[in-house]
Amino acid sequence: NAGVMQNPRHLVRRRGQEARLRCSPMKGHSHVYWYRQLPEEGLKFMVYLQKENIIDESGMPKERFSAEFPKEGPSILRIQQVVRGDSAAYFCASSPNRANSPLHFGNGTRLTVT
Amino acid sequence: QQQVKQSPQSLIVQKGGISIINCAYENTAFDYFPWYQQFPGKGPALLIAIRPDVSEKKEGRFTISFNKSAKQFSLHIMDSQPGDSATYFCAASNRGVRETSGSRLTFGEGTQLTVNP
């Protein structure tokens, strides 16, 4: 049973470019969460999605960041016009639609903005 | 009120010793407290979790102690091994708002554990 798959593992972008991070949840999981981890810091919640719906985006920056989880295909975290401060590890987690279910994390995408 | 404070930031323990990591929270609505282990270049992996209706949970060498009145919980690693060297995160969530927050977790800042051979 494959775990949460994130790609790419490493992504380098120049300032002003767009970054697209993909996440395929575990089989049978319909809930996806995105977290950001800055160097030497903990994980900060960004957004919680179910299929075709954004449930909670209270942790997302108001500008340049967007997320989607379409009916078919992976969840996408999109960062437009990246800046150096966006350099971080971005982790996706998934859970099933079941009470008291734990989060399972992918191995992250490490974004470097040059 | 959503914060979870974790200490120490780093910890060095000799092989065979006990590693203790502490966390404190403010939101009394939190009702689920997991610990995650993260190795370099990997995502966090669930280690052990506890609910506030029990004061202690043990799984192998790992034990969570929970003090509801003090709003604190801690992870104890008995007989620490070099392979336990990793970053440990405590977390908390409020399962009561599941419809709007799902299994969303609030994480502590992490503790980098080094176990010397």
Which residues in chain B have their CB less than 8 angstroms from residue A55's CB? Answer: 100-102
Of A42, A45, A104, the CB nearest to B104: A45
Report the distance separating Cα A11 and Cα A69, nearest Å.
20
Give B49→chain A minimum CA distance, Å: 9
Give the pLDDT of chain B (117 residues) as one tens digit per residue: 568 999 999 999 999 999 999 999 998 888 899 999 999 999 999 999 998 889 999 999 999 999 999 999 999 999 999 999 999 999 998 876 556 566 788 999 999 999 999
Q: How is the beta sheet containing B72-77 ordered, strand by strand?
A: B4-7, B19-25, B72-77, B62-67, B56-59
Give the pLDDT of chain A (114 residues) as one tens digit per residue: 579 999 999 999 999 999 999 999 999 888 999 999 988 778 999 999 998 899 999 999 989 999 999 999 999 999 999 999 999 999 999 988 766 678 899 999 999 999
Report the distance separating Cα A28 and Cα B116, nearest Å.
40
Q: B105: number of CA atoms within 13 Å, CB side?
A: 33
Give A20→chain B minimum CA distance, Å: 19
Q: Do B43 and A42 touch (CB under 8 A)?
A: no
Of A95, A102, A107, the CB nearest to B43: A107
Q: A5: number of CA atoms within 13 Å, CB side?
A: 7
The pLDDT score that the predictor gives to residue B97 is 59
Q: Do B106 and A45 touch (CB under 8 A)?
A: yes
Tell the burial category of B116 from Cβ atoms under 10 Å away from its Cβ (0-12, 13-18, 19+).
exposed
Give A80→chain B minimum CA distance, Å: 24
Of B41, B95, B102, the CB nearest to A31: B102
Note whether B40 contacts A: Cβ–Cβ < 8 A.
no
